[in-house]
Every structure is written in structure tokens, then in C-alpha cells.
């Protein structure tokens, strides 16, 4: 699975002018399942998200996790993270999991996250979403788990 993690002071997802997911301090995570991914990759991704030390401690060093700071997780599906751009100017998305498999893995990740963390919000799979965020730092980290 591919993800793009952004440390935020706030973030929200809007669909049809309605806010469907919103967090304050925490992580906005754009997520893409690739062909061949399964629940094991989703589990690895979640474990990394919960333990990744990218929030500042008292000394200003990135030494705290989203769990340590009691931050939120906003999980948003984004198949375009699988874009292949080497062959021309139009991206290819053939590495992304088929929609039904991508939805299944995204929903699995959300269920697991809600079981492990108290504040989890989401976007809407395959919807035209508007994502608003205030990137804190800015801190943006690409993460791929195999």
C-alpha cells in the first residue's frame, strides 16, 4: 500500500459541500491499495501510522506519535498515488488495485484503525472529495509498505 502522510493542525474532507470527516491535530493520510496488496499490508501501514514519531516533544524534536499526542487520523482513499509517469505525459493507474479490491482494503484499514485508535475520520471511497488541510511544519512523508 502507498500512503502520503501529512502532519496537520486541522484537516477536513468535503463531499457535495458537506463536511464528512474532520480532525484537529493529527495525521491526514492519503491511501492507495496496489495490485497484490492484502490485509497484511493494511495492518503494516496502520502499525506504522500509529507509531511514527513525527510530532514534536518538549525539546522540539520529532519524537512523539499520533497516539502520544492523542491526535486524530483522517484516512482518505486516493488511487492516484499509484500513478506511473515514466512513459509520457498522461499518468497510468494500472498499478492501483481494481476498485472493488481497493474499496475492500480501504474499508478494512478504516475498521482496524477505529478498533486501535479513538479518533478516526474518513473520506468517501470513489467520491469527488475536496480535502482541506493546514499542514503543520510542513511535514509530509511518503510511505509504502509491502
Active site residues per annotation: 78-80
Length of the chain: 146
CA distance 92 to 95: 8
Q: Which residues contact 38 (CB under 8 A, 6 or more apart)?
A: 105
Q: How far is CA 25 from CA 17, 28, 65, 102, in A?
A: 22, 9, 12, 27
- Cβ-contact 19, 133 below 8 angstroms: no
- DSSP secondary structure of 92-128: B-TTBPPHHHHHHHHHHHHHHHHHH-S-EEE--TTS-
CA distance 68 to 141: 19
Residue with cell 496488496: 37
Amino acid at each position: 500500500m502507498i500512503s502520503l502522510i501529512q502532519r496537520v493542525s486541522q484537516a477536513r474532507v468535503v463531499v457535495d459541500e458537506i463536511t464528512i470527516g474532520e480532525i484537529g491535530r493529527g495525521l491526514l493520510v492519503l491511501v492507495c491499495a496496489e495490485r497484490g496488496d492484502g490485509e497484511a499490508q493494511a495492518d503494516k501501514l496502520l502499525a506504522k501510522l500509529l507509531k511514527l514519531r513525527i510530532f514534536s516533544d518538549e525539546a522540539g524534536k520529532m519524537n512523539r506519535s499520533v497516539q502520544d499526542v492523542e491526535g486524530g487520523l483522517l484516512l482518505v482513499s486516493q488511487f492516484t498515488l499509484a500513478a506511473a509517469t515514466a512513459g509520457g505525459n498522461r499518468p497510468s493507474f494500472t498499478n492501483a488495485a481494481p476498485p472493488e479490491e481497493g474499496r475492500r482494503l480501504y474499508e478494512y484499514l478504516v475498521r482496524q484503525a477505529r478498533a486501535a485508535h479513538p479518533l478516526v475520520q474518513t473520506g468517501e471511497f470513489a467520491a469527488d472529495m475536496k480535502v482541506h488541510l493546514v499542514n503543520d511544519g510542513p511535514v509530509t512523508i511518503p510511505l509504502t509498505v509491502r
